[in-house]
Amino acid sequence: MFRRNVGGFDRGLRLALGVLLTPAGLFLLGRSPGWGWTFLVVGLIGLTTGLAGFCPNYVLFGISTARPRGGTSSIAGSRRGPHPNREASL
């Protein structure tokens, strides 16, 4: 379906905020509808993206906080040797 792009810490933070903001939004709907709807929508977005592990905004900006498959970081590089288009310097 969708490729995961939300990592562990990011996912936990989204879920925690969603769990806090969703009931707060429901509570505030009767008292202050503007803030109630804002909290409710932001909380539901956090819950949805946290549970799915996918954020459409991350796709738009080319961001991913999820670990790549295979367990190695793309920042660390690979152990396959030098880049084929670069000459090795001595």
Quick one: which of 25, 7, 28 has its CA closest to 17? 25
Contacts of 44 (CB under 8 A, 6+ apart): 18, 22
Percent of the chain predicted with pLDDT > 90: 70
State the pLDDT confidence band at 20, using cuts at 50, 70 and 90.
very high
pLDDT higher than threshold 90 for residue 52: yes
Query: The tokens of 15 are what?
Result: 């879920």
State the pLDDT confidence band at 68, using cuts at 50, 70 and 90.
confident
pTM of the full structure: 0.72
Domain ranges across the chain = 20-55
Q: Which pLDDT value is given to residue 74?
A: 46
Q: Which pLDDT value is given to residue 37?
A: 97
What number is the average pLDDT over the span 44-61? 95
What number is the average pLDDT over the span 13-37? 96
Contact of 22 with 43, CB cutoff 8 Å: yes
Amino acid at 67: R
Tell me the C-alpha to C-alpha distance, in Å, between residue 15 and each of 2, 31, 89. 19, 25, 49
